[in-house]
């Protein structure tokens, strides 16, 4: 009995659930008010009788039908917001009416989205953009010279230049890829290494050159005789500046006079000696001055047997690598107890090397386990390179083909190095390298499933570093442990210097600061704006954002953080005197301030002062200005769009002229002129908000310097936002903005997620964004939490199943 | 007999605003002439130059129709080549209009200009416009020249953000579309354009390099054949871009082996982007002239500034941004500055036309064998309207155009009808291009 009961109860239960779900899933009617709006303003042209543009609004009676036509409704709301519909000849809805209708329609979709089945979306295969190409080549090949400099610029979509759908590949770019692969590999591998450089030095140019080391027939005369008329001369030496690490060969030509063989030691001084000579060993060497050469290593000790200049002998020793070589010396030993002093005659010194003139990249790329045949070496080298270049293990077939290419090339008579070079060029123009291909390992799986660990490694590395994964990520991927360790890896990666890419590429694009590079402030009006100031402006924001990433600060600091980074140039521009943020002529300066020199330093900003946060940085203030004047509209729009994620709709098409002819010219202060502008109801609703936000920053001129008048008009930075909140100036406005932290956090999350995924966000990403924003709020908006949450979010980790593909 | 002057001496003047007919003395570098049998006829070339933000139309449009029209203030710099002009009034880029897509007239103006297609409103997902007229010509003429086409400009694609009301920046910075989904980025660095025209090396080492490249391309194609099959539709389209670019390059290598050698003008050194905008524009013009004269390509598009560009023109005392000014609100002083910018651009066109006219070719001048279209996809920058566009065509198109006239068409005549007519003159017949309704009548007189 009981064995039957359980399944039965279970099925009954499931039935109940099904019924109750069925009941709640009964399509909710489209709200009456919304239907009334349609009837009043739309149905005449898009209803039962007339269906212009094949739009029939009368068919949308319940939510289920609405949800099927998401695109149409998005467009409907857009044309309504822009004022394009209803057409001008028709009666226009009042703003409140439109707003209520918009809310009703939006609510239908939002409700549905929150309860929808999970959908990780589709990421289009991404071509490496210029930055990613440069960085990937640097990390893959080990040559860092910006080979993508000559590539056509990458197009921007959704605010970023790493969006798969927008990154195209033209014939011009293909040609540049070939040329870049050629020059990259030419630098990385030298097929015919040049001869090692030689440095020959006659004895007369050696040190020391004092009277007690006479020169006779071109030979330095050195003695180890203590006291008396001769003083011990000590070692003969000379300094070297060597271009690269590696083994060197040292030679000197000598003969000696004394009883029996005369022992001579060769010393090498360096900055990075692994095992300097011990005091014991040094004690055996002749001359007080030998201690002055410390630290050094004893490279070799050789007996000099030649007795005349005619049969002088050459001492030749190999100097080991990695000493940080700075100086070579030749030293005599003290006479053995009771032994007679000896004299050494030294004609010349010579240093050759580094003996291996192949570049470091070549040694790394061509490194092989010892004892392999050529064929095995080819396979090892090509497999390693292709696996790193494709960012996943190269398949057997792929390696076979590459090995065959190398062998075909050597069969034509090319050197092995040249053949490998050619095969590596081929890898660098392969779509498997140029694109981030994410093949589905389970294409038949109907439901969303995780991308594989290698794909995850690349998503992480290109997100945080704009480059390929490093060995640690590859190793974890190989062990299939990366997904589990993703949060720890994200934190490690954020601390890595390569995370600067997140500032350069994400932050600079999000804040639209790349435009500052070509911004042309009028030199007559703003003589202080020059290349130094432009660079300093960008640098300030980079360092400020960099601290938030590196030190894991609250993202809210971006709004009003009371610290920044300045150099002397920018500090003067801001009127700031020292690192405590004191301004010139401060009555009661805060203590502890250091003067600001040419290097960038961290500066604390006082609470009551005008600066703090992105909005009062010269970079943002300048890039949102016109060449000759500030633009409160652009500044206001920047706040709404970049910080709050609530961009105003585009201006309605064909904005009517204010009035006829020149009489309608706008006059007065900029604010008065803008107010006249806002008399036009078509402009008012959006400009009321944009302008109020923008005018709060009017105390900062078009290059971000402080001012109290605009021409002859005094500045009034106060304002009132729609909804009645008023503020006296930028500080109060920033406080209001900080209260909008949910909006700000959502905006930042959406931008960073867009950048991380390389695609625009869709309605089905809403649950992921909601979850990230909630976690962020519970963790003081710390930046690492944001990055980690994105890296572990469904759209980042998962791919669509078979049933979801479009 | 053409006097022998050292090329080195003469060509050094390239781009340095030197008014020398220096190209004339380079002799028969053109492959059509070198390959000919004595009766070869010069081929027809097509170039389109684009300027943004519309025009001050009152100062652009001539009042009288027909021959002997009076030049307007903006067209005044073209006086020396007035006989070579066809000013065309009443052409419309209908697909630059919103048609329910709201704002974004700048983005649409450029994207629809040569395509006659409504650009899809997207900030990045699934960008789409249409094939542009230059690429239609390029595809048909590809086997006759080294380069199917040349796309040049003076401003990079926008550096950040959504460029115009929800349209990806690609729309407002790209005129040439190889397919509806593949915009062709323009080259703005004169040095790179020069290298593209003439290659970096001498012919001998180039052919060896081409062989190596061919072996790499062979390998890569074979190695990635299976890749496309495993990808979804959108990904496959991206890979197709790759493979078609690869094929393009192979064809180019094959053609280079077949066509008579093109000699890079000796001693000519083209460096990076000149700091003065006018020098930059003129250097690009010089390169276009060189490409046409040497018959390296017969199709070129040149975007003088991106749509919506806010570049100031201090060289003519206009420190304000162009786009900012174009919303002139009927302020006469702003309108005057817009006119000045328009005239400045037109004087660059005059430079190009004068150069082309100074070069003797076959039975006439190089300009006789060109069709140089010039204009904007916006009419009045303040109103963002796309009818009555400012358009002119210069050059006689191998005798197919009767120039020296101002022609008015019926209102709302599609701009694409002009493109169809010009294609026809390059022996490229198409039934339709975008929203075209037929060929224009009256261009040949």
Contacts of B383 in chain A (CB under 8 A): 654
pLDDT at A609 over 60: yes
Contacts of B312 in chain A (CB under 8 A): 520, 522, 627-628
Q: Which of residues 27-56 of A touch B (CB under 8 A)?
A: 53
> What is the interface pTM, i.e. ipTM, of the complex?
0.80
Alpha-carbon distance A737 to nearest alpha carbon in chain B (angstroms):
22
Looking at residue A621, its pLDDT comes to: 97
pLDDT at A391 over 70: yes
Looking at residue B205, its pLDDT comes to: 74
Tokens of A597: 């020199």
Give the mutation candidate from A79, A170, A529, A656 for the B interface (greatest B CB count, under 10 A).
Answer: A170
Q: Which of residues 72-111 of A touch B (CB under 8 A)?
A: 75, 78-79, 82, 84
Looking at residue A129, its pLDDT comes to: 96
Buried/exposed A268-284: b ≥16 CB within 10 Å, e otherwise: bbbeebeebbeeeebeb
Cis amide leading into B31 (omega within 30): no
Give the closest of B102, B159, B238 to A653, CB-based: B102
What is the percent of chain B where pLDDT is above 90? 61
Q: pLDDT-derived band of residue A88, with 50, 70 and 90 as boundaries? A: confident
Sign of the CA dihedral A637, A642, A646, A648?
positive
Conformational region of residue B199, where left means phi above 0, alpha means psi within -120 to 50, and beta covers everything else: left
Q: What is the pLDDT of residues B171-182, one digit of tens each?
A: 999 999 999 999
Alpha-carbon distance A747 to nearest alpha carbon in chain B (angstroms):
14
Cβ contact A665–B331 (<8 Å): yes
Give the mutation candidate from B216, B225, B253, B297 for the A interface (greatest A CB count, under 10 A).
Answer: B216
Q: What is the pLDDT of residues A186-202, one digit of tens each?
A: 999 999 888 999 999 99
CA distance B331 to B316: 19
Cβ contact A653–B232 (<8 Å): no
Cβ contact A515–B187 (<8 Å): no
Cis amide leading into A208 (omega within 30): yes
Q: pLDDT-derived band of residue B162, with 50, 70 and 90 as boundaries? A: low
pLDDT at B31 over 70: no
Cβ contact A168–B182 (<8 Å): yes
Alpha-carbon distance B396 to nearest alpha carbon in chain A (angstroms):
30
Alpha-carbon distance B55 to nearest alpha carbon in chain A (angstroms):
16
pTM for the structure as a whole:
0.82
Q: pLDDT-derived band of residue B8, with 50, 70 and 90 as boundaries? A: very low
Q: pLDDT-derived band of residue A14, with 50, 70 and 90 as boundaries? A: very low
Contacts of B240 in chain A (CB under 8 A): none
**C-beta of residue A378 within 8 angstroms of C-beta of residue A406:** yes
Q: What is the pLDDT of residues B188-228, one digit of tens each?
A: 999 889 888 887 555 667 778 888 899 999 999 999 988 88
Q: What is the pLDDT of residues A514-559, one digit of tens each?
A: 989 988 899 999 999 999 999 999 999 999 999 999 999 999 999 9
Give the DSSP letter of residue A629: S
Cβ contact A513–B160 (<8 Å): yes
Contacts of B220 in chain A (CB under 8 A): 426, 429-431
Contacts of B332 in chain A (CB under 8 A): 662
CA distance A139 to A744: 35
> B371 has which bridge partners?
B46
Mean pLDDT of chain A: 88
Q: Give the mean model confidence (pLDDT) for residues A711-718.
A: 86
CA distance A752 to A771: 14
Give the closest of A178, A430, A805 to B223, CB-based: A430
Cβ contact B125–A760 (<8 Å): yes
A546-550 own/partner pairs: CB under 8 Å, 24+ apart: A546/A500, A546/A503, A547/A602, A548/A783, A549/A494, A549/A499, A549/A502, A549/A503, A549/A783, A550/A494, A550/A495, A550/A499
CA-nearest of A232, A348, A342, A249 to A300 is A249
Q: pLDDT-derived band of residue A95, with 50, 70 and 90 as boundaries? A: confident
For A411, the enclosing helix (H) or strand (E) is helix A396-411
Q: Which comes out higher in pLDDT, residue A134 or B68? A: A134
Give the closest of A78, A155, A439 to B102, CB-based: A78
Q: pLDDT-derived band of residue A131, with 50, 70 and 90 as boundaries? A: very high
Residues ≥6 apart with Cβ < 8 Å to B113: B50, B93, B96, B175, B377, B415
Looking at residue A460, its pLDDT comes to: 98
Tokens 């898009």 belong to: A46
**C-beta of residue A497 within 8 angstroms of C-beta of residue A488:** no
CA-nearest of B405, B408, B442 to B75 is B405
Tokens of A545: 């954002």
Give the closest of B160, B165, B219 to A405, CB-based: B219
Q: What is the pLDDT of residues A617-666, one digit of tens each?
A: 999 999 999 999 999 999 999 999 999 988 887 666 555 544 433 344 55
Tokens of A342: 């000896």
Give the closest of A156, A170, A658 to B160, CB-based: A156
Q: What is the pLDDT of residues A249-258, one digit of tens each?
A: 999 999 999 8
Q: Which of residues 366-425 of A touch B (CB under 8 A)?
A: 398, 401, 405, 422, 425
Looking at residue B91, its pLDDT comes to: 97
What is the percent of chain A where pLDDT is above 90? 57
Q: What is the pLDDT of residues B349-395, one digit of tens each?
A: 999 999 999 988 888 999 999 999 999 999 998 888 999 999 999 99
Tokens of A563: 């610290």
pLDDT at A737 over 60: yes
Cβ contact B102–A154 (<8 Å): no
Give the closest of B103, B125, B215 to A82, CB-based: B103
Looking at residue A15, its pLDDT comes to: 36
Tokens of B365: 């001048």
A–B interface: beta-carbon pairs under 8 A? 234
Nearest residue of B to residue A127, measured between CA atoms: B238
Q: Which of residues 259-318 of A touch B (CB under 8 A)?
A: none
CA distance A181 to A136: 12
Give the mutation candidate from A82, A153, A410 for the B interface (greatest B CB count, under 10 A).
Answer: A153
Mean pLDDT of chain B: 86
> B260 has which bridge partners?
none
């Amino acid at each position: 009995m009981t064995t039957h009961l359980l399944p039965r109860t279970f099925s009954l239960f499931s039935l109940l659930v099904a019924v109750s779900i069925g009941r709640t899933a009964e399509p909710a009617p489209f709200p009456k008010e919304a239907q009334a709006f349609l009837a009043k303003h739309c149905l005449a042209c898009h209803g039962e009788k007339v269906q212009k543009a094949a739009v029939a609004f009368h068919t949308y009676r319940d939510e289920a039908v609405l949800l099927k036509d998401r695109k149409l409704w998005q467009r409907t709301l857009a044309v309504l917001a822009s004022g394009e519909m209803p057409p001008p000849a028709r009666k226009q809805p009042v703003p409140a009416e439109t707003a209520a209708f918009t809310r009703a329609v939006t609510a239908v979709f939002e409700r549905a989205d929150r309860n929808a089945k999970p959908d990780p979306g589709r990421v289009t295969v991404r071509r490496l953009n210029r930055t990613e190409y440069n960085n990937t080549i640097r990390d893959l090949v080990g040559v860092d010279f910006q080979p993508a400099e000559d590539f056509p610029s990458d197009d921007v979509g959704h605010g970023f230049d790493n969006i798969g759908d927008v990154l195209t590949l033209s014939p011009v770019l293909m040609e540049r890829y070939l040329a870049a692969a050629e020059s990259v590999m030419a630098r990385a591998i030298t097929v015919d290494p040049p001869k090692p450089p030689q440095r020959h030095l006659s004895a007369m140019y050696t040190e020391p050159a004092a009277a007690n080391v006479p020169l006779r027939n071109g030979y330095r005369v050195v003695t180890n005789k203590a006291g008396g008329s001769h003083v011990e001369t000590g070692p003969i030496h000379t300094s070297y500046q060597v271009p690269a690490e590696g083994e060197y060969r040292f030679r000197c030509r000598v003969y000696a006079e004394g009883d029996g063989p005369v022992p001579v030691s060769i010393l090498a001084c360096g900055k990075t000696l692994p095992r300097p000579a011990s005091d014991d060993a040094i004690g055996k060497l002749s001359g007080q001055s030998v201690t002055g050469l410390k630290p050094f290593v004893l490279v070799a000790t050789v007996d000099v047997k030649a007795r005349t200049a005619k049969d002088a002998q050459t001492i030749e020793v190999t100097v080991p690598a990695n000493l940080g070589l700075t100086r070579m010396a030749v030293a005599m030993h003290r006479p053995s107890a009771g032994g007679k002093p000896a004299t050494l005659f030294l004609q010349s010194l010579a240093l050759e090397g580094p003996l291996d003139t192949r570049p470091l990249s070549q040694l790394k790329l061509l490194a092989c386990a010892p004892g392999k045949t050529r064929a095995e070496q080819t396979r090892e080298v090509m497999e390693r390179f292709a696996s790193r270049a494709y960012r996943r293990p190269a398949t057997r077939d792929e390696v076979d083909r590459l090995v065959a290419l190398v062998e075909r090339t050597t069969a034509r008579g090319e050197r092995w190095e040249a053949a490998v070079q050619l095969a590596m060029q081929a890898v660098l123009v392969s779509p498997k390298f140029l694109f981030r291909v994410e093949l589905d390992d389970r294409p038949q799986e109907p439901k969303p499933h995780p991308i594989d660990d290698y794909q995850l490694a690349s998503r992480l590395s290109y997100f945080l570093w704009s480059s390929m994964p490093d060995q640690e990520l590859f190793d974890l991927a190989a062990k299939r442990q990366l997904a589990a360790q993703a949060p720890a890896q994200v934190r490690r990666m954020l601390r890595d210097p390569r995370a600067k890419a997140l500032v350069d590429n994400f932050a600079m694009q999000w804040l639209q600061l790349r435009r500052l590079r070509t911004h042309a402030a009028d030199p007559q009006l703003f003589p202080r704006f020059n290349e130094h100031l432009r660079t300093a402006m960008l640098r300030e924001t980079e360092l400020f954002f960099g601290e938030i990433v590196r030190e894991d600060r609250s993202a809210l600091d971006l709004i009003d953080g009371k610290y920044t980074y300045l150099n002397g140039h920018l500090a003067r521009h801001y009127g700031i005197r020292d690192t405590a943020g004191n301004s010139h002529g401060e009555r009661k300066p805060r203590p502890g301030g250091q003067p600001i020199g040419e290097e960038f330093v961290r500066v604390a900003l006082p609470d009551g002062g005008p600066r703090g946060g992105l909005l009062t940085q010269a970079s943002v203030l300048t890039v949102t200005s016109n060449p000759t004047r500030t633009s409160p509209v652009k500044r206001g729009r920047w706040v709404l769009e970049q910080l709050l994620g609530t961009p105003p709709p585009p201006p309605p098409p064909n904005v009517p002229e204010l009035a006829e002819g020149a009489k309608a010219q706008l006059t007065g202060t900029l604010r008065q002129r803008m107010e006249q502008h806002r008399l036009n109801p078509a402009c008012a609703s959006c400009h009321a908000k944009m302008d109020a936000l923008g005018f709060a920053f009017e105390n900062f001129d078009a290059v971000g310097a402080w001012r109290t008048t605009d021409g002859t008009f005094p500045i009034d930075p106060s304002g009132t936002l729609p909804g009645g909140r008023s503020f006296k100036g930028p500080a109060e406005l920033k406080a209001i903005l900080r209260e909008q932290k949910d909006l700000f956090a959502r905006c930042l999350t959406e931008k960073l997620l867009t950048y991380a995924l390389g695609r625009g966000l869709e309605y089905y990403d809403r649950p992921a964004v909601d979850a990230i924003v909630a976690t962020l709020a519970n963790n003081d908006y710390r930046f690492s939490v944001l990055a980690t949450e994105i890296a572990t979010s469904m759209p980042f980790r998962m791919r669509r199943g078979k049933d979801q593909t479009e | 007999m053409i006097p022998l002057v050292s090329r080195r001496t003469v060509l050094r003047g390239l781009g340095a605003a030197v008014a020398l007919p220096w190209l004339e003395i380079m002799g028969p570098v053109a492959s059509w002439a070198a390959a000919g049998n004595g009766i070869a006829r010069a081929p027809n070339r097509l170039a389109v130059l684009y300027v943004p933000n519309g025009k001050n139309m009152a100062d652009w449009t001539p009042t009288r129709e027909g021959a002997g029209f009076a030049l307007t203030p903006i067209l005044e710099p073209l006086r020396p080549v007035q006989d070579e002009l066809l000013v065309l009034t009443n052409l419309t880029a209908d697909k630059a209009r919103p048609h329910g897509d709201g704002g974004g007239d700048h983005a649409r103006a450029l994207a629809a200009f040569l395509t006659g297609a409504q650009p899809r409103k997207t900030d990045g997902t699934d960008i789409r416009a249409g094939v542009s007229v230059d690429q239609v010509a390029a595809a048909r003429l590809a086997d006759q020249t080294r380069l199917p086409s040349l796309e040049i400009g003076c401003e990079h694609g926008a550096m950040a953000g959504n460029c115009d009301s929800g349209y990806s920046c690609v729309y407002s910075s790209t005129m040439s579309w190889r397919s509806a989904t593949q915009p062709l980025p323009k080259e703005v660095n004169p040095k790179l354009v020069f290298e593209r025209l003439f290659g970096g090396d001498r012919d001998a080492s180039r052919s060896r390099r081409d062989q190596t490249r061919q072996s790499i391309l062979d390998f890569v194609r074979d190695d990635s054949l299976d890749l496309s099959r495993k990808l979804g539709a959108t990904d496959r389209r991206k890979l197709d871009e790759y493979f078609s670019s690869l094929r393009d390059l192979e064809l180019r290598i094959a053609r280079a082996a077949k066509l008579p050698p093109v000699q890079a003008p000796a001693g000519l050194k083209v460096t990076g982007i000149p700091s003065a905008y006018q020098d930059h524009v003129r250097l690009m013009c010089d390169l276009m002239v060189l490409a046409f004269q040497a018959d390296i390509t017969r199709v070129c598009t040149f975007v003088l500034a991106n749509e919506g560009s806010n570049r100031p023109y201090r060289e003519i005392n206009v420190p304000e941004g162009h786009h900012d000014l174009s919303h002139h609100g009927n302020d006469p002083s702003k309108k005057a500055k817009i006119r000045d910018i328009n005239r400045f651009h037109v004087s660059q066109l005059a430079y190009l036309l004068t150069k082309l006219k100074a070069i003797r070719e076959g039975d006439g001048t190089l300009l006789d064998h060109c069709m140089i279209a010039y204009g904007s996809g916006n009419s009045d920058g303040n109103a963002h309207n796309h009818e009555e566009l400012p358009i002119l065509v210069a050059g006689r198109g191998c005798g197919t155009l009767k120039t020296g006239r101002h022609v008015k068409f019926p209102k709302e005549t599609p701009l694409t009808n002009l493109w169809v007519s010009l294609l026809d003159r390059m022996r490229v017949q198409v039934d339709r291009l975008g929203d075209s309704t037929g060929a224009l009548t009256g261009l040949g007189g």
